[in-house]
Structure 1
């Protein structure tokens, strides 16, 4: 479990109900809600909500080679605009997902707390002859649900991302940034609302929603957003290229609708079952203000339209709007067939 990092905002905002200290995903020390989580989510999406994401950790990369350096390591082509990226193992399996915010003198990387130490150590270990310095910073991550502010708080680094933006408040500046956003019309909103919208938007977190076998193409939304298909070499690129050009992943990330009347709910890591056969894995489970109880899950493509699925003793169904079907001919397969005269 990641170390517990208390947030100054938890004692600054009345009515905060904190994530417990034993949270297995390292989110302790921030507010799960402020008394009415479903109302908070609805009102935030109708206008703007500010969420304490102070459990996330931030690295700063400086040095003349910082951009070239991360472009040799990660799946995305980093330039001048904020972006996302993945760190893969040599077999192309996902180890870390991160947000990258470039500035004139540095790159800022914020990532979920689970696995952060390994990411920091990997970045430090791979420097070799690059002119790069890696250091953890005291920046505090805040989330924005709904519309972006007309003006971001002074001294903060924004990372706009389609109705789920983040910003990095400087060390010691979390409360000032929070108060500026609230003064600008943002509603204090708990992490539960952020998680619910993350699930509805098929935005996984590695520790919560993926397993050790997950590859980037199993999360279709990452292709383009966090994976650049035409950049230079990086670890795990062979798998990304092979799946893109020749095949399709056997599983994809989907939204599960849960039976709200069931006495039990699945837990992260529970298998999705078709009868007695495991066809998937449950990730984050949360209540959404509009959809009710929902979950992310990696489910085999062959089972995504099946009836009678269960997980953790609860009847579940794959939301058909999240069933990803790209049956267009793969460029590599077309080339192979042409060579074989098919």
Structure 2
């Protein structure tokens, strides 16, 4: 994952004790106790360094109407301080960029995953034409940290961030639709993550809270596990070159179904109203007897013993896997729609599980928890004409 916006200043989080970092992203996987950090983060007692993420700022009087015309969310009436998220799709409805959006009254802040700021800013700059907008990649001057609602979020907020974005994942947004069944509470119903954006030199103030003992630092492994358990999709974690919003149940917070035309809207409407997404996101509960987690891209097979059968064809792939402090080994997987919802699954979970030439290791048995059902879509019943 790239960072975008050029070389960043030294990250003060790097000096915290016990830090084990992702060498490419430059942020902590954990600080020595990933499960304990996860529990602290979930209860609002920890903060996560997201300084590897990208930040694009759009200013000018036409900014909201301009972004509204190109992306999947209704942004025309976005109030200062209100948070939402939106998707930039290609002409076939596939996800190109996912952005967390908040407007401060003068500028619209687009918070994106690592590696996305530079290409997003370049695309937006090309699309300005004669409109009164300016696009700036601020990944080199600003950075985000994340906390869940609680005392830590209050302490970080008291430092005076440039802006804060509240994740809308806890409920279906206005104009959205949820494919996950509603017989029980949605796994993300209690989700309360907040991202705080600071000028990079102010990160030292956040680290000061950690050093004082008022705040605990948690790594990316903690956040990833909580996102997986909450069925919360992300571009870096779950999107590939074929992904459409329906497959990830991202229609609930990132797509407004009645906002009007934008690139990819025809596919969004057609799949939702008349068709079904070709793949569906599922949460897999992994057999923990081997103590191994599959890597992203590991192949999923249907049926007990299927992963080692000669000529067996995969029915999906793992997008993210994590060790949850309560649920143990879990993973998000994109499966073919045709896979029965009660089918037992097996994962080729070795370090190169998606490489057919590599040793896949021992198969990992898995049980599905349905997120996007096979029946998702086809919201409008089209009457069939009698055949003559």
Aligned residues: 331
Instruction: Give the 3 Å change call, closer, same or farther, for CA 317–325 of structure 1 in structure 2.
Output: same
Structure 2 stretches lacking a partner, 5+ long:
168-190, 307-311, 350-361
Query: Could you tell me how far apart the structure 2 residues matched to 1:323 and 1:208 are?
Result: 16
Task: Name the structure 2 match of 1:305.
Answer: 342
Instruction: Give the 3 Å change call, closer, same or farther, for CA 7–98 of structure 1 in structure 2.
Output: farther
Task: Name the structure 2 match of 1:25.
Answer: none
Query: Could you tell me how far apart the structure 2 residues matched to 1:293 and 1:331 are?
Result: 34
Question: Where do residues 55-134 of structure 1 align in structure 2 (5 Å cutoff)?
Answer: 55-78=52-75, 79-80=78-79, 81-134=82-135
Instruction: Give the 3 Å change call, closer, same or farther, for CA 104–323 of structure 1 in structure 2.
Output: closer
**1:164 aligned to 193, 206, 209, which one?**
193
> Deviations for 1:13-42, whole angstroms, at most 9, x for unmatched residues?
222111123xxxxxx211111110101111
Structure 1 contact 89–235 (Cα < 8 Å) conserved: yes
Task: Say which is worse superposed, 204-213 or 126-135, in terms of deviation.
Answer: 204-213
Question: Where do residues 1-342 of structure 1 align in structure 2 (5 Å cutoff)?
Answer: 1-3=1-3, 5=8, 8-21=11-24, 28-78=25-75, 79-80=78-79, 81-137=82-138, 138-145=141-148, 147=150, 149-150=153-154, 152=157, 153-161=159-167, 162-180=191-209, 185-220=214-249, 222-262=250-290, 264-274=292-302, 275=306, 276-303=312-339, 304-312=341-349, 313-320=362-369, 322-325=370-373, 327=375, 330-332=378-380, 334=381, 336-337=382-383, 340=385
> Deviations for 1:66-96, whole angstroms, at most 9, x for unmatched residues?
0011101111112121111111110000111
Normalised to the residue count of structure 2, the TM-score between the two structures is 0.78
Instruction: Give the 3 Å change call, closer, same or farther, for CA 62–183 of structure 1 in structure 2.
Output: farther
Query: Could you tell me how far apart the structure 2 residues matched to 1:5 and 1:259 are?
Result: 41
Question: In structure 2, the residue corresponding to 1:243 is in which secondary structure?
Answer: helix
Task: Name the structure 1 match of 2:358.
Answer: none
Question: In structure 1, the residue corresponding to 2:338 is in which secondary structure?
Answer: helix
Instruction: Give the 3 Å change call, closer, same or farther, for CA 5–29 of structure 1 in structure 2.
Output: farther
| Cα RMSD for the two superposed structures | 2.5
